[in-house]
Structure 1
Amino acid sequence: MTEQPSTLYAKLLGETAVIGWQELQPFFARGALLWVEPALDLVAAAEAVATDDGAKVKQWMDAGLLAKVSESQALDCVERDPTLWAVVVSPWVLIQERADEK
C-alpha cells in the first residue's frame, strides 16, 4: 500500500529551494534557523513543525536529528559555504545539507 503525501507536504515540497549560507545568516542571527540532519526528511520535518506536532518534533530533537543551528555549525557553513536546501515554516527556516555534499 502506497501512502499518498499530504497536501501540506506537497505544498512544502514545492516551496523547498537551494540556498547559500549568506542568505541564511540573518535568520541565524534571530535564532530562527533549524538544522535537519540528512537522515531525516526535510519536508517531513517542516510538515511536523507547521502542524505543531510537538511529539514528533521532540522525538527528533532528542535524537539529534533536528536542532537550532549552533554557532559551530554556523562557522562551518561560513568556512565551507555548502549548498543547503531550505523551507520556511514561519517563524522558522529549516535547512539541510545534502548527505552527498558533506
Structure 2
Amino acid sequence: MSERDILHAKLTLETAQLAWSELERHFARGDVVKVAAGVDLIDAALLIAENNAAEAQAWLADGRIARAEMSDAEDWHARQPQFWAVVVAPWVLVQEVQAGAHALRPQPR
C-alpha cells in the first residue's frame, strides 16, 4: 500500500456528516472549502493534504473547489442541508449530501 493509499484511507475514515449549524463557526473563521457536486471529496482532500498547489489552482479555476462565501452561508442557513466533511487543517472541506445518498460514506480505494 502506497503512502497516498494510506492517506486516502485515513481521510475516508475521518469523514463525517455534519449539519450547517456545526459548520457555521468554521465558516466564520474562513476555513470552509466547498467541493462541487460530482467531485470526489476525498480526492479534493488529498489534493490539499499533498499541498499540490498547481493542481489546486486548476481545481479552483474550474470550480471543482472554492472558498465558501457569504452567499453560500446564507443559502445553507436557509436550507439547513447536511454535508459530508473532512478536515485537512486548517481547512474544512464540505460537500452537500445529495438526495438519496445520505447514508453513503466515501469508500476507501
Common fold, TM-score beyond 0.5? Answer: yes
Distance (whole Å) between structure 1 residues aligned to residue 94 and residue 45 of structure 2: 10
Q: Tell me by how many angstroms 1:38 deviates.
A: 1.1
Distance (whole Å) between structure 2 residues aligned to residue 22 and residue 60 of structure 1: 27
Distance (whole Å) between structure 2 residues aligned to residue 38 and residue 10 of structure 1: 21
Distance (whole Å) between structure 1 residues aligned to residue 52 and residue 5 of structure 2: 15
Distance (whole Å) between structure 1 residues aligned to residue 85 and residue 42 of structure 2: 9
1:60 match: 59
Secondary structure, aligned partner of 2:94: strand
Distance (whole Å) between structure 1 residues aligned to residue 98 and residue 36 of structure 2: 9
More helix by share: 1
Deviation sequence 1:25-64 (CA, Å, 0-9, x none): 1110110000000121101100110110112211110001
Q: Which runs of 5+ in 2 are unaligned?
A: 101-109
Distance (whole Å) between structure 1 residues aligned to residue 47 and residue 75 of structure 2: 27
Identity of aligned residues (%): 41
Q: Does 2:58 match 1:94?
A: no
Instruction: Map residues 39-58 of structure 1 onto 2, 5 A cutoff.
Output: 39-58=38-57
Ranges of 4+ aligned residues in structure 1 off by more than 6 Å: none
How many residues of Structure 1 are paired with residues of Structure 2 in the alignment?
97
Instruction: Map residues 1-102 of structure 1 onto 2, 5 A cutoff.
Output: 6-100=5-99
Q: Which runs of 5+ in 1 are unaligned?
A: none
